[in-house]
């Protein structure tokens, strides 16, 4: 019996939302991978990814904020520059395939480093945290690249917050959730200038990620400890990195 594309996408989108929201993410890179594998029309991919991202990020943000896992000063330091640059990135119709090779390598390296630190140390924070003077330029860079490829930027921000001692794991998840929300909105607004198309079954996909985000963020806030969350994050980073390299970069050279 052949499974219809809408039902398969509904199921996979929900699973992605559960996994990503446990670590304060909304799942954009996972949605991109699913839509690429299921051959969604190119014109629908970016708008669908950002729309689903906004919904899951909203649900996840509420869960983490209620639990007190958030730092307003750190969030604002990154978001002040990321929001306008995410809008600019969303306005650009640039083919991002070459960039995705570098993004994929970055994500895979980050996943390995996080696993190493989880296995070797109890405390994730470094003795020399990242200087605050780097927050604004890093926020601008993350925002621009996020708007360019249709993600919220948490996949880049969270490992930076943890690896460079800016915030502990759950606080990093809360900061990233709100960061993803504002950047996804900004990026989607920018993308509207390029013309926005949505899939026929968008309401079905929205339902899937909404409940997936509720479950995943509840597990991340209430049930999972730091080690489990960090291992989940490592899996997310590694899978997203492989997706960027195997599907986008190699597909680019194979002419797909």
**Tens-binned pLDDT, residue by residue, of the chain (256 aa):** 346 788 899 999 998 898 888 878 888 878 877 887 787 887 788 889 899 999 999 999 998 999 999 999 999 999 999 999 999 988 887 665 666 777 778 778 878 877 776 665 544 444 456 777 889 999 999 999 888 877 888 888 988 888 788 888 889 889 999 999 999 999 888 877 766 677 788 899 999 999 999 998 888 777 766 677 767 777 877 877 887 787 666 665 554 4
Q: Which two tokens stand for residue 39?
A: 């051959």
Q: What is the pTM of this model?
A: 0.80
Residue 173 confidence (pLDDT):
87
All residues at 6 or more sequence positions from 166 whose CB lies less than 8 Å from its CB, including other chains: 74, 129, 130, 160, 172
Per DSSP, 220 falls in state: I
Tell which residue, 183, 192, 152, 151, has the closest CA to residue 84: 183
pLDDT of residue 158: 85
Is the CB of residue 64 less than 8 Å from the CB of residue 177? Answer: yes
- For residue 123, what is the enclosing H or E element? none
pLDDT value, residue 1? 38
List of residues 6+ apart from 136 with CB closer than 8 A: 77, 78, 80, 81
Are 189 and 171 contacting, i.e. CB atoms less than 8 angstroms apart? Answer: no
Residue pair 88/193 in contact (Cβ under 8 Å)? The answer is no
DSSP class of 4: P
Determine contact, residues 172/19, Cβ cutoff 8 Å.
no
Spatial neighbors of 161 by CB under 8 A, at least 6 apart, are 74, 167, 171, 172, 175, 176
């Amino acid at each position: 019996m052949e499974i219809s594309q809408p039902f398969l996408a509904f199921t996979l989108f929900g699973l992605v939302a559960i996994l990503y929201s446990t670590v304060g993410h909304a799942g954009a890179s996972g949605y991109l991978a699913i839509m690429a594998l299921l051959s969604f029309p190119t014109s629908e991919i970016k708008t669908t990814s950002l729309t689903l991202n906004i919904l899951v990020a909203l649900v996840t943000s509420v869960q983490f904020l209620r639990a007190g896992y958030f730092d307003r000063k750190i969030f604002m330091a990154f978001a002040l520059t990321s929001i306008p640059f995410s809008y600019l990135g969303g306005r650009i119709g640039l083919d991002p395939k070459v960039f995705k090779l570098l993004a994929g390598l970055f994500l895979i390296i980050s996943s390995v480093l996080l696993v190493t630190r989880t296995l070797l140390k109890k405390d994730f924070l470094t003795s020399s945290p990242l200087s605050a003077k780097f927050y604004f330029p890093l926020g601008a860079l993350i925002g621009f690249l996020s708007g360019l490829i249709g993600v919220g930027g948490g996949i880049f921000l969270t490992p930076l917050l943890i690896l460079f001692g800016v915030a502990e794991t759950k606080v990093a998840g809360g900061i990233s959730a709100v960061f993803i929300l504002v950047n996804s909105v900004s990026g989607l607004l920018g993308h509207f200038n390029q013309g926005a198309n949505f899939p026929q079954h968008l309401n079905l996909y929205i339902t899937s990620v909404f409940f997936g985000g509720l479950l995943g963020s509840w597990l991340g806030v209430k049930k999972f400890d730091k080690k489990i969350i960090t291992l989940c994050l490592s899996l997310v980073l590694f899978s997203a990195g492989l997706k960027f390299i195997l599907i986008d970069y190699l597909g680019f050279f194979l002419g797909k």
